[in-house]
């Protein structure tokens, strides 16, 4: 609803801009045809420009690696239900819209009743209809309607020349466009003033062009005065009778404006440019690629392409293009499902670079997925390694997902071997699946091991032999170097995470260079 109000405000501002430019700078000039297109342009610009935006990207510093994406937010008390003004406003608008639509339908019906069944006289591109009703002469597209019994021959000639201009230049289109705008924006007084300006300028055009073809200009003006006695007219037509006859006669006798005054049309351009820069620029913040240097491992940089619970299809496609273009990595997603809040509840991600492959599969019972990232490690010699950076949300909420990382190779033999090793290391029971698999036939180095919602935790021998050198963090607090992990009863452990290599140093710096063990105990 707020976006509708914003659109109306922007549209009204632009319409007011064009109306003021016409009223104060152009209305007294004799550039009638140019004024016609200026006014029509104002309607089109005011309707379309608020819908167009220019996207500006601002690069921001990336959040630290493995940092939680979801901060703890303060609880918000439920407010008492308030009166829904939006529905009231929409209801009032709908009533007004329907009333004006009905009025338009009545006008079309009246027009059809006048024209239908009448004798039509075709002359060139015009269709003349002589009626008996006491109605002011009017034109509607190629139809020119009048009551010849009310005028002399010279007066009728003046009237017909005037209506021919309306018909020949398709002024009916201008009348209908302004009428539709006044119906859609019936609540906006600027639209009604604008509609009146368009109609009045069309009469200036017809008067000017008709007077050029008539010998007696003064007789034409007398005809204008005579027609004012006929107050009945059809609203959706170009009718000879119009109010403000005095202004029409003044403009008819005014000297032609000098061409140098045409600069006035360009006054709106700086204002439109300012409008776009102030209101139509959409700023999007993007994180810079994360750079981590490690002297010992000879790593030059680490790039993380994050996949969040609110990631759209276009954002996933952008990740795909960046991975392919910058790292020659193939990125494919499948099994995408979203909940009513448009949050991802299921996704399968496969990344591949040569013989390296990483896979992440997440599926929940309607809840948002754990946010994760595609990890690309670039070494100083140009080599690259790929992986999946996962998140452990046990600090922020009750664990509902089981996460396991394991290594496997593309060959069936290695796959079976590593699957067995993973089974020895991790014992997981959960209805929710969150699996990460990393494959690299050329590199047998270890990767992150994350165990959550685990009724039984078994630490492998390879981890035990290095525990004395690793940094141990229990419930977010760093333990002293002589801390014995075995002193913790396994029954009291809620989850355990083991970080090695660049992931450990990225999160804990030099003190994590020998690896990090994170333990969350049951509360």
Q: Tell me the DSSP string of 211-223.
A: HHH-S-HHHHHHH
C-alpha closest to that of 506 among 377, 360, 406: 377
The answer for residues whose C-beta is within 8 angstroms of residue 22's C-beta and 6 or more apart is: 35, 38, 39, 42, 197
Domain boundaries, the chain: 1-68+262-286, 90-257, 289-521
- Measured CA to CA, the distance from residue 165 to residue 184 in angstroms comes to 29
More confident residue, 18 or 365: 18
* pLDDT surpassing 90 at residue 224: no
C-alpha closest to that of 204 among 20, 33, 19: 33
**So what's the pLDDT on residue 70?**
43
* pLDDT surpassing 60 at residue 147: yes
C-alpha closest to that of 223 among 256, 255, 249: 249
- Measured CA to CA, the distance from residue 204 to residue 210 in angstroms comes to 10
Name the pairing type of β-strands 384-389 and 372-379: antiparallel
**So what's the pLDDT on residue 427?**
31
The residue-averaged pLDDT of 99-108 equals: 94
What spatial distance separates the first Cα and last Cα of the chain, rounded to whole Å?
44
Weakest-pLDDT range from 87-101, 139-153, 224-238, 303-317: 224-238
The residue-averaged pLDDT of 425-435 equals: 36
Asked if 103 and 96 touch (Cβ cutoff 8 Å), the reply is: no
- Per-residue burial over 208-223, b = 16 or more CB atoms within 10 Å of its CB, e = otherwise: bbbbeebeeeeebbeb
C-alpha closest to that of 383 among 298, 452, 446, 310: 298
3-state class (DSSP) for residue 232: coil
Name the pairing type of β-strands 433-440 and 402-408: parallel
* pLDDT surpassing 80 at residue 234: no
C-alpha closest to that of 206 among 154, 156, 244, 169: 169
The answer for residues whose C-beta is within 8 angstroms of residue 178's C-beta and 6 or more apart is: 43, 194, 195, 198, 199
CA 423 remoteness from chain centre: 47
**So what's the pLDDT on residue 80?**
56
Torsion of CA 50, 55, 56, 60, to 10 degrees: 120
Give me the half-sphere count of Cα atoms (radius 13 Å) on the Cβ side of residue 306: 19
Q: Please, which pLDDT band fits residue 85 given cuts at 50, 70 and 90?
A: confident
Torsion of CA 497, 502, 504, 508, to 10 degrees: -150
Tally of CB atoms within 10 A around 491: 9
- Measured CA to CA, the distance from residue 110 to residue 128 in angstroms comes to 18
- Ramachandran region, residue 517 (left: φ > 0; alpha: ψ -120 to 50; beta: rest): beta
**So what's the pLDDT on residue 45?**
95
Token pair for 522: 């049951």
What ranges in 116-170 are assigned the alpha helix state H? Answer: 153-168
Asked if 331 and 320 touch (Cβ cutoff 8 Å), the reply is: yes
Q: What is the pLDDT of residues 445-466, one digit of tens each?
A: 444 444 333 333 333 333 344 4
Side-by-side strand order, sheet with 330-338: 330-338, 344-353, 356-363, 433-440, 402-408
C-alpha closest to that of 163 among 225, 206, 209: 206
Token pair for 358: 């990483």
- Measured CA to CA, the distance from residue 285 to residue 278 in angstroms comes to 18
C-alpha closest to that of 463 among 488, 495, 497, 435: 497
Name the pairing type of β-strands 449-451 and 493-499: antiparallel
Asked if 390 and 450 touch (Cβ cutoff 8 Å), the reply is: yes
**So what's the pLDDT on residue 378?**
85
- Measured CA to CA, the distance from residue 454 to residue 217 in angstroms comes to 99
Weakest-pLDDT range from 48-57, 280-289, 428-437: 428-437
**What is the rounded average pLDDT for all residues in the chain?**
76
More confident residue, 82 or 350: 350
* pLDDT surpassing 50 at residue 409: no
- Measured CA to CA, the distance from residue 400 to residue 393 in angstroms comes to 9
Residues in the chain: 523
- As beta bridge partners, residue 210 has none
Asked if 185 and 193 touch (Cβ cutoff 8 Å), the reply is: no
Q: Please, which pLDDT band fits residue 370 given cuts at 50, 70 and 90?
A: confident
Q: What is the pLDDT of residues 163-222, one digit of tens each?
A: 999 999 999 999 999 999 999 999 999 999 999 999 999 999 998 998 888 878 888 888
Asked if 276 and 10 touch (Cβ cutoff 8 Å), the reply is: no
Asked if 294 and 502 touch (Cβ cutoff 8 Å), the reply is: yes
What is the model's pTM?
Answer: 0.53
Q: Please, which pLDDT band fits residue 362 given cuts at 50, 70 and 90?
A: confident
């Amino acid at each position: 609803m707020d976006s509708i109000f914003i659109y109306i405000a922007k549209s009204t501002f632009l319409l007011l801009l064009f109306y003021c430019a016409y009223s104060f700078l152009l209305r007294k000039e004799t550039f009638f045809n140019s004024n016609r297109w200026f006014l029509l342009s104002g309607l089109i610009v005011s309707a379309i420009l608020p819908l167009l935006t220019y996207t500006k990207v601002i690069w921001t510093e990336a959040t630290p690696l493995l940092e939680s994406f979801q901060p703890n937010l303060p609880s918000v008390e439920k407010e008492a239900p308030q009166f829904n003004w939006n529905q009231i406003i929409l209801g009032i608008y709908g009533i007004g819209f329907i009333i004006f639509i009905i009025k338009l339908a009545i006008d079309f019906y009246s027009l059809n009743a006048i024209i239908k069944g009448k004798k039509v006289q075709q002359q060139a591109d015009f269709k003349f209809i002589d009626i008996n009703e006491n109605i002011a002469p009017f034109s509607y597209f190629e139809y020119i309607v009048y009551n010849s019994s009310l005028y002399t021959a010279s007066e009728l000639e003046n009237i017909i020349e005037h209506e021919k201009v309306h018909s020949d230049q398709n002024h009916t289109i201008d009348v209908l466009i302004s009428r539709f705008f006044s119906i859609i924006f019936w609540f906006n007084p600027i639209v009604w003033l604008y509609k009146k300006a368009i109609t009045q300028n069309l009469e200036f055009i017809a008067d000017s062009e008709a007077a050029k073809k008539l010998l007696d200009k003064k007789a034409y003006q007398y005809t204008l005065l005579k027609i004012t006695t006929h107050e009945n007219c059809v609203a959706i037509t170009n009718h000879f009778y119009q109010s403000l006859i005095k202004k029409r006669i003044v403009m008819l006798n005014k000297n032609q404006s000098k061409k140098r005054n045409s600069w006035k049309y360009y006054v709106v351009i700086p204002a439109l440019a300012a409008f776009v820069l102030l209101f139509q620029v959409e700023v999007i913040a993007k994180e810079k690629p994360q750079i981590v240097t490690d002297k010992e491992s000879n790593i030059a940089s680490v790039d993380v392409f994050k996949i969040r619970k609110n990631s759209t299809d276009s954002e996933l496609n952008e990740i795909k293009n960046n991975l392919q273009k910058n790292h020659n990595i193939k990125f494919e997603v499948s099994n995408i499902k979203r909940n009513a809040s448009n949050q991802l509840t299921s996704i399968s991600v496969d990344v591949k670079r040569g013989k390296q492959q990483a896979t992440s599969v997440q599926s929940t019972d309607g809840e948002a997925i754990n946010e994760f990232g595609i990890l690309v490690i670039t070494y100083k010699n140009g080599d690259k390694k790929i992986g999946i950076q996962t998140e452990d949300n046990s600090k922020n909420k009750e664990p509902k997902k089981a996460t396991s990382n394991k290594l496997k190779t593309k060959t069936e033999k290695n796959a079976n071997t590593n699957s067995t090793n993973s089974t020895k290391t991790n014992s997981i029971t959960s209805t929710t699946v969150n699996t990460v698999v990393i494959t690299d036939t050329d590199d047998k180095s270890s990767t992150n091991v994350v165990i959550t919602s685990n009724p039984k935790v078994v630490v492998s021998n390879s981890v035990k032999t290095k525990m004395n050198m690793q940094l141990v963090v229990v419930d977010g607090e760093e333990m002293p170097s002589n801390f014995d992990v075995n002193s913790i009863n396994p029954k009291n452990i809620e989850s355990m995470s083991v970080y090695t290599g660049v992931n450990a140093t990225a999160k804990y710096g030099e003190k994590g260079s020998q690896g990090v063990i994170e333990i969350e105990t049951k509360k």
